Amino acid sequence: MASSSKAPSSRRSVFDAVHIRSEFSAAGISAHFIPLIWKYVLQNPRCSDLDGVPSLPAAAYALLRQKFRPTTSTLTAAADSKDRTTTKLLICLQNGESVEAVVMRYDTRLGKYDGKPRPGGVRSTLCVSSQVGCKMGCRFCATGTMGFKSNLSSGEIVEQLVHASRYSQIRNVVFMGMGEPMNNYNALVEAIGVFTGSPFQLSPKRITVSTVGIIHGINKFNGDLPKVNLAVSLHAPDQDIRCQIMPAARAFPLGKLMNALQSYQNESKQTIFIEYIMLDGVNDQEEHAHQLGKLLETFKAVVNLIPFNPIGSSSNFKTSSDQNVKNFQKVLKGIYRIRTTIRQQMGQDIAGACGQLVVSLPDERSAGGATLLSDIEDLRI
């Protein structure tokens, strides 16, 4: 459970990129030492100081000791799904709050490579959080029930990757954990800047930011984060249903959102990923599939249908039947020629699936079973 807030130490995360660059610059130390420091922490994630970083100028050690910590967050627990494809990490932040990050591993022996191992070996996707809680209040989402508590710093976002790297080599990062990333925009841009540089070197094409549709964020996205994937949690093909299940949609009318997405796509030429949670009797009928198909007619888009994860007895929603999900997919693919995938769930047994991220861990390290999710790399067209 999230603990109550406590006063943060005055020392910042060494991964707060803007801050460390400005401190180095003010002290006349070259910024090219910074990736060496990050590499050291990545290789020594439990180090308590930075004195062991090799070959820095003496002034850098003094500055680091005074103003920075290798990590400001602590990995407090990890839970594996029974089949070990998914690991949920509970991470305690400097202010005493906790967030979760989820590592999803893809089985290289399975899938669409004629039963042969996938080229490139094991790959994992990390789902990161950008806020503690979330103010958007989506009614199907466990995090939405927490309300908003605080924004993560860019360093705290990056540290999730540092902690996760102890468990798996991360190839992809998705901002689909706790929080609405566009509501913490500067930290989002800064963290992605670190992910794509040395030593992490993630390709921007392997990073996906998921938003409920914050229009002013979408308008800036391509300029600030070219080649990074944009996923939009649309979840309904008309404004009324959207407002029912996503109260924040009132501030971002569907017509204006689609216009912003069209401008984004015209400019970026990027495929847009549309997330659509399937809620029984709410948005999962054939008529909704036709509405969605028409809405996306002018787009290059991939629709990801997400079976709803029950988030406790308080939820009013039910999971759509398999038949409804398949019918929905058939309409989008067959009539509107839209690439449409059905997300198979991973980590439901540890509450690490979409819409389930709220700070809690089971008593047992594993229970139940989880199945494979499509690798984000497989969705690219």
- Least spacing, CB of residue 249 vs ligand SF4, in Å: 10
Report the site for ligand SF4 in 342-371 (rule: CB under 6 A): 355
Closer Cβ to ligand SF4, 141 or 361, answer by number: 141
Write down the residue that tokens 């759509």 correspond to: 320
Give the residue with the Cβ less far from ligand SF4, 85 or 143: 143
Residues 24-53 that bind ligand SF4 (CB under 6 A): none
Query: Where in 55-114 is the site for ligand SF4 (CB under 6 A)?
Result: none
Cα of first residue to Cα of last residue in the chain, in angstroms, is: 40
| Smallest distance, ligand SF4 to C-beta of residue 286, A | 25
Among 29, 212, 218, 306, which residue sits at the site for ligand SF4 (rule: CB under 6 A)?
Answer: 212
CB of 290 to ligand SF4, least distance (A): 25
Question: Could you tell me how many helices (H) and strands (E) the chain has, helices first?
Answer: 11, 14
Q: Contact letters (x/-) for ligand SF4, 125-154, by CB under 6 A?
A: ---------x-xxx--x-xx----------
How far apart, in whole angstroms, are the C-alpha atoms of residue 357 and residue 178? Answer: 6
Separation CA 269–CA 271 (nearest Å): 7
φ, ψ at 131 (rounded to 5°): -140, 160
CB atoms within 10 A of CB 134: 28
CB of 182 to ligand SF4, least distance (A): 9
Task: Mark 273-312 with x for binding to ligand SF4 (rule: CB under 6 A) and - for no binding.
Answer: ----------------------------------------
Instruction: Give me the least distance between CB of 18 and ligand SF4, in Å please.
Output: 25
Q: State both tokens at 301.
A: 């888009």
Provide the 8-state DSSP code for 57.
-
The residue (of 184 and 196) whose beta carbon lies closer to ligand SF4 is: 184
Binding range to ligand SF4, per CB under 6 A, among 75-83, 100-108, 174-182, 200-208:
174-182
| Element housing 222 (H / E) | helix 215-224
Min separation Cβ 214 and ligand SF4, Å: 9
Q: State yes or no: is 100 an active-site residue.
A: yes
Phi, psi at 80, each rounded to 5°? -95, 145
Q: Is 357:351 a contact under the CB 8 Å cutoff?
A: yes
SS3 147: coil
Shorter beta-carbon distance to ligand SF4: residue 293 or 347:
347
Omega prior to 45 cis, within 30 of 0: no
Among the options 92, 127, 141, 354, which is catalytic?
354
Q: How far is the CB of 275 from ligand SF4 (least distance, A)?
A: 9
**370: number of CA atoms within 13 Å, CB side?**
32
CA distances from 310 to 74, 127, 185, 197, 355 (A): 29, 19, 29, 38, 9
Q: What is the DSSP secondary-structure string of 165-219?
A: TTTS-EEEEEE-SSS-GGGGHHHHHHHHHHHTSTTT---GGGEEEEES--HHHHH
- Contacting residues for 121 by C-beta, under 8 A, at least 6 apart: 108
Give percent helix, percent strand, percent coil of the chain, each to the nearest 5: 35, 20, 45
Cis preceding linkage at 199, omega within 30 = yes
Looking only at the bridges linking them, the beta strands covering 12-13 and 68-69 are parallel
Q: Is 179 in the site for ligand SF4 (CB under 6 A)?
A: yes
State which of residues 80, 100, 180, 349 lies at the interface with ligand SF4 (CB under 6 A). Answer: 180
Task: Spot the catalytic one: 100, 180, 190, 275.
Answer: 100
Residues in the site for ligand SF4, rule: CB under 6 A? 134, 136-138, 141, 143-144, 178-180, 212, 355
So which residues are the catalytic ones?
Answer: 100, 354
